[in-house]
Structure 1
C-alpha cells in the first residue's frame, strides 16, 4: 500500500514538472518552426503513436469509434488544442514562457465561470472574486512595475485560455470514447490535422526553412510529443485515479511556478516585479477556485469538472483530452 501511495505521488510530481516544462518546450519549438505547423506536428505524431498502442484493445469490437465519438473528439480538439494550444503557441512567439504560463493559470477560473453560464446557475461570489483577481493579475503582468509586454500576444493567450476552458466544459457531457487514452489520441489526431491545415492557410510553409530549424526547436518539439503529450498524460491518469482530488488539483498552480523557474534557469528569461506581483495574484485566484471546489466534492470524485490543461501545455492550458491537460 505504501509503495502504491509513493508511486501515485511520483506520478503527480511528474505531472507538475513535465506539464510545467511544456511552456518552455513551446517557446523553444516556435523559435524556428511556425507555431501552427509545430503544434499540428506535435499532436498528430503524439496522437498517432498513442492511438496505435491503445486502439487494438480499447477501440475495437463493441468499443470501436462511432461517428458521435469522432464528431465530439473533433469539437473538443478544435476548442482545446487548436484554439487553446495553437493560440498559446502563437502567443509564445512574443511572450516569455513563464509569463504565458501564468496567464494560462487562469483556466480553472474560466472553467467554473463558463460552466455556470452554460448551466444557468448562480455564479458564486468566490468565482467573481477569483475572476476579478485573475484579471487584475493579468493587468499587472502587462502594465505593472517593470512590465514591457506585447499586449496583442497577451490577448491571444487569454483567448486561448477561454477556448481551452470552453472545450473542457463541453467535453464533460460530450459522447467521447469510454477509454480516456482513446479519447485523448482521437482528439490529438483531429487537432493535428486542423492545426496543419490552419498553418497552411496562414502561409506558414513559406516561413518554414527546414535547413534553418535549430536543434533547440527540434528538442522542444520532441519534448512536447513524448514528455508533454504521452508520458505526462499517462502519469496524470494514474495520479488522478489514485490520489484525492485536492492533491491532484495542485497541478493547476504548481505548473506555472515550474514554468517560470524553468524559463529563467534554462530559457534565459528574466523576472520583473510585474511577474512576481501579477503571478502571485493569479496563483491566489486559482487557489481560491481550486480549494473552494475541492471542499465541495468528495475526495474520490474526479476533478475533471472544475479545472483543465498545455498542455499540451493552452493547456492551455499545454495537451489533450476531456480531463485537465497542459
Structure 2
C-alpha cells in the first residue's frame, strides 16, 4: 500500500492554515493596533512588537538547527524588513495613531494587490487587459475612499497609509528575487531589522512613554507579537515563497470585512457610504486582477 499521498495532505493543510492566519488573524490586528496606540507611541509599539517577535523566532530557528545566514542574506532580509515592516506595518500603525479608523486602514491596505501588479510589471511580468482594468477600478476605489470623512479628517494619514501599501507591495514582489534564508529564519531577520528601524525612528522623532501602558496596551502588544507577527507574518513569508504574489496578497479580499466588523462591534467605529462603496469597488478590483493569477496557477 502506497503512503505517497501523505506529504501532499500535509502541504495542503499548511497552505490552508497559512491562508487562515492571513485572512482572519491579520484582519483582527487593525483593531488591536488601534487599541495599542491608545497607550503606546506608534513607532515604539511597532518596533517592540517586531524586535521581540524576531528575537523569539531567531532563537527558535537556531534551536532547531537552522544555519546562520550569510552577510548577503542579512542585507537582503533587512531591506525587505524595512519595506514590509518599517514602512508598511509601521505606516499603518502611525496612520491609526493619527485617527484613521481601523476598518478604513484595512480597506486602504486592500490596495496592496493593485500595487503588487504594477511593481510586478516593472520586474518584467506582463499584465493582461483584465488586470489593467482591475488597476483602473482600484484607483477609482481609492478616490472614493478619500471622499469619506475618515480619511478627510486625516489627509496625512491617508497619504501615509497608501505609501505603506505601496512599500509592502514592492517588498513582496522584490523578495521573490532575492537570496533569503529558508523557513522562519527569513521572518526573524526581517522582523529584527524592520523593528530596529522603527525603534530608531521612534527615538529620532522624539516619541516617549508618558506613563506605562495599561493592561489593554500590554495585551495588545502581546497579541501583535504572538499572533500578528510570529504566526501571521511567518505565514505570509511562507506563502510568498510557495504561491504567486497575487495569491499571497489575496488576504485583501477578507481583511477589510473582518476589520470593519470588529471596529464597528468593539470600537464604536462608523463607516459612511463613501467608505462602503469604496470597499465594494476595491475588493471588486482585487478580484478582477486575481482571476488571471488563479487561472494560471490552476493551469500549472
Range into which the TM-score falls when normalised by the shorter chain: 0.7 to 0.9
Q: 2:49·2:221 contact (CA, 8 Å) conserved in 1?
A: yes
Q: 1:142·1:149 contact (CA, 8 Å) conserved in 2?
A: no
Q: 1:91·1:154 contact (CA, 8 Å) conserved in 2?
A: yes
Deviations 1:26-63 (A, max 9, x none): 11111121111111000000011111111233432xxx
Deviations 1:264-317 (A, max 9, x none): 1112211211121011111111111122211122477xxxxxxxxxxxxxxxxx
1:75-114 pair list within 5 angstroms: 75-93=79-97, 94-114=99-119
Structure 1: gaps spanning 5 or more residues? 301-326
Aligned to 2:3: none
Q: Quick one: which of 178, 183, 191 aligns to 1:180? A: 183
Aligned to 1:265: 265
Q: 2:27·2:255 contact (CA, 8 Å) conserved in 1?
A: yes
| 1:3, distance to aligned residue in structure 2 (A) | 8.4
Q: 2:247·2:293 contact (CA, 8 Å) conserved in 1?
A: no
Q: 1:130·1:288 contact (CA, 8 Å) conserved in 2?
A: yes
- Greater Cα shift, 241-250 or 264-273: 241-250
Q: 1:8·1:243 contact (CA, 8 Å) conserved in 2?
A: no
- How many aligned positions are there? 292
Q: 1:109·1:131 contact (CA, 8 Å) conserved in 2?
A: yes
Please report the TM-score for the alignment, with normalisation by the length of structure 2.
0.87
Structure 2: gaps spanning 5 or more residues? 1-5
**CA distance 1:95–1:245, shift in 2 (3 Å):** closer
Q: Quick one: which of 132, 135, 149 aligns to 1:131? A: 135
Corresponding residue SS for 2:69: coil
Residue 16 (str. 1) matches residue 23 (str. 2): yes
Corresponding residue SS for 1:271: coil
- Greater Cα shift, 123-132 or 80-89: 123-132
Residue 204 (str. 1) matches residue 211 (str. 2): no
RMSD after superposition: 2.9
Aligned to 2:161: 157
For 2:41 and 2:299, how far apart are their aligned partners in 1?
Answer: 42
Q: 2:113·2:250 contact (CA, 8 Å) conserved in 1?
A: no
For 1:27 and 1:253, how far apart are their aligned partners in 2?
Answer: 21
For 1:169 and 1:242, how far apart are their aligned partners in 2?
Answer: 13
Q: Quick one: which of 133, 142, 145 aligns to 1:141? A: 145
Please report the TM-score for the alignment, with normalisation by the length of structure 1.
0.80
| 1:247, distance to aligned residue in structure 2 (A) | 8.0
Between structures 1 and 2, the one with greater helix share? 2
**CA distance 1:237–1:172, shift in 2 (3 Å):** closer
For 1:77 and 1:244, how far apart are their aligned partners in 2?
Answer: 19
Q: 2:187·2:234 contact (CA, 8 Å) conserved in 1?
A: no
Q: Quick one: which of 113, 116, 121 aligns to 2:121? A: 116
**CA distance 1:51–1:232, shift in 2 (3 Å):** same
1:158-307 pair list within 5 angstroms: 158-177=162-181, 179-205=182-208, 208-211=209-212, 213-233=213-233, 250-298=250-298
Q: 1:244·1:299 contact (CA, 8 Å) conserved in 2?
A: no
**CA distance 1:88–1:243, shift in 2 (3 Å):** closer
Q: 1:134·1:285 contact (CA, 8 Å) conserved in 2?
A: yes
For 1:10 and 1:59, how far apart are their aligned partners in 2?
Answer: 23
Q: 1:9·1:239 contact (CA, 8 Å) conserved in 2?
A: no
